[in-house]
Every structure is written in C-alpha cells, then in structure tokens.
Amino acid sequence: EFGQMLMLMSALAHVIFMALYGGFLLVLRHAGVEEEGQTDKIHQRPEVMALLIVLGLMSFGGLLEEASQMMELTWRTWRNYLGNIVDVTSFALFVVLFGMVWSSYRYDVILAVGAVETLVLFIRLVFFASMTDSMGSLMRMVIEIIKDMRYFFTLLGMIFSGFAIAFAVLLGPSNSYEAVAFKLFSVMLGDWQYDYLLDMMHTED
C-alpha cells in the first residue's frame, strides 16, 4: 500500500514536471519567434527564466534522489531497472538544456535538445503507466518482443546498408547517400512511387 502511494506521488510529480516543461517549450518558442532566435535576449525574459529555474530545481532534486537510491542500492541492482536510467537521462538532459539557455547557446541546438527531452519524458510516462496491472503486462510483452527481434533488426540493417551503398554508387554523385537511404527506407515501409524512382535514376550527362 505504501509503495503504491509512493509511486502514485512520483507519477504525479512527473506529470506536473511535464506540464511545466510543456509550458516552458511554448514560452521558449514564442520568445524565439519574437526575438528572432537571439538567445541572449530570450533568456532575459522573466517568464523564460522563471520556468527555467523551477524546472532546474526539480531536475536537480531528481538527480539527488537518484544518487541517493544508487548509494542505498548497489550499482548493479540500480541499473537493472531501466526506469532509473531513463530518469537520470531526463534530469541530465534538462540540466544540459538549463546550461544552454543560461549561457545563450545556439537557438536551434536548444530546440533540438528540448525535443529529445520531450521524447524521454514521454518514455518516463510509459514506465509509470507500466506499473499498473493492465499496462504492465503489455509493457513486458513489448520488451520481450523487442529483445527477440534484435537479431532480425541487425540482419535487416546489414541488408539495407548494402542496398543503400550499392544504389548510391550506381546512381553517382547526382544523388546523395542520405537521399538514397531515405528513399529506400520509405520504399521498405510501403511508400512505392515509381515516378520518383525514375527521377532519382535520371542522371544528366
């Protein structure tokens, strides 16, 4: 009973953090548009700094909590639970984001780190949801499927890389390797466009 209440409080704290972080991203984007991406002016705005400090304190507190858990448990026991690694990654990413905004780093890089942090936060939310009976069994099943398919994905990646390099060499410098690889990936997912392939294979003399 106490453990369930503790996990419920942790999940609630995470939802609050996500809500504040979402507001921070919206404010950051709005400020970036108004200030034309000049981070030295963006981080001086009071609404940006207020949310940044609050989220920074929450992230720092989360890192301290994870450090205390790591000291209570052994490193091997602590790392066996993937949720702990996701938690540390999330808090560490926001600390990095905090430093980048505070030091007026490049605006596009700040947005990129913010996007990665958004994905990590939703992954954390999935881990909290997996603690319920219904979602937990589904989560364990998906993890086992991914583990069993790792060899298939390795083989698929080897074959895909071979075809991508072969087509890039065949088509010459008029088509970059990235464009060929992206198109092959789209075809693999079912996006078969014959006209596009003809245009891609057309080379100028």
pLDDT over 70 at 79, yes or no: yes
Q: Are residues 49 and 128 in the same domain?
A: yes
Q: Are residues 8 and 97 in the same domain?
A: yes
Please, what's the largest Cα pairwise distance for the chain? 75
Tell me: the pLDDT tens digits for 8-44?
Answer: 788 888 889 999 999 999 999 888 888 887 888 888 8
Length of the chain in terms of residues written: 205
Number of domains in the chain: 2
Q: Are residues 56 and 105 in the same domain?
A: yes
- 28, part of any domain: yes
- 177, part of any domain: yes
- 194, part of any domain: yes
SS (HEC) of 80-112:
HCHHHHHHHHHHHHHHHHHHHHHCCCCHHHHHH
The share of the chain scoring above pLDDT 90, in percent, equals 18
Between CA 64 and CA 70 the distance in angstroms is 10
**103-114 average pLDDT score:** 90
Torsion of CA 64, 66, 72, 78, to 10 degrees: -160
Q: Are residues 129 and 161 in the same domain?
A: no
- 143, part of any domain: no
Range of the domain at 75: 2-133
Lowest mean pLDDT segment, chosen from 99-108, 143-152, 172-181: 172-181
pLDDT over 60 at 200, yes or no: no
Q: Are residues 166 and 71 in the same domain?
A: no
Q: Are residues 55 and 86 in the same domain?
A: yes
> What pLDDT, on the 0 to 100 scale, is given for residue 205?
46
Q: Are residues 27 and 122 in the same domain?
A: yes
Q: Are residues 12 and 60 in the same domain?
A: yes
The model's confidence at residue 190, banded by pLDDT at 50, 70 and 90, is confident
Q: Are residues 64 and 6 in the same domain?
A: yes
- 79, part of any domain: yes
What mean pLDDT value characterizes the chain? 82
> What pLDDT, on the 0 to 100 scale, is given for residue 133?
73
- Torsions phi, psi for 106 (to 5 deg): -60, 135
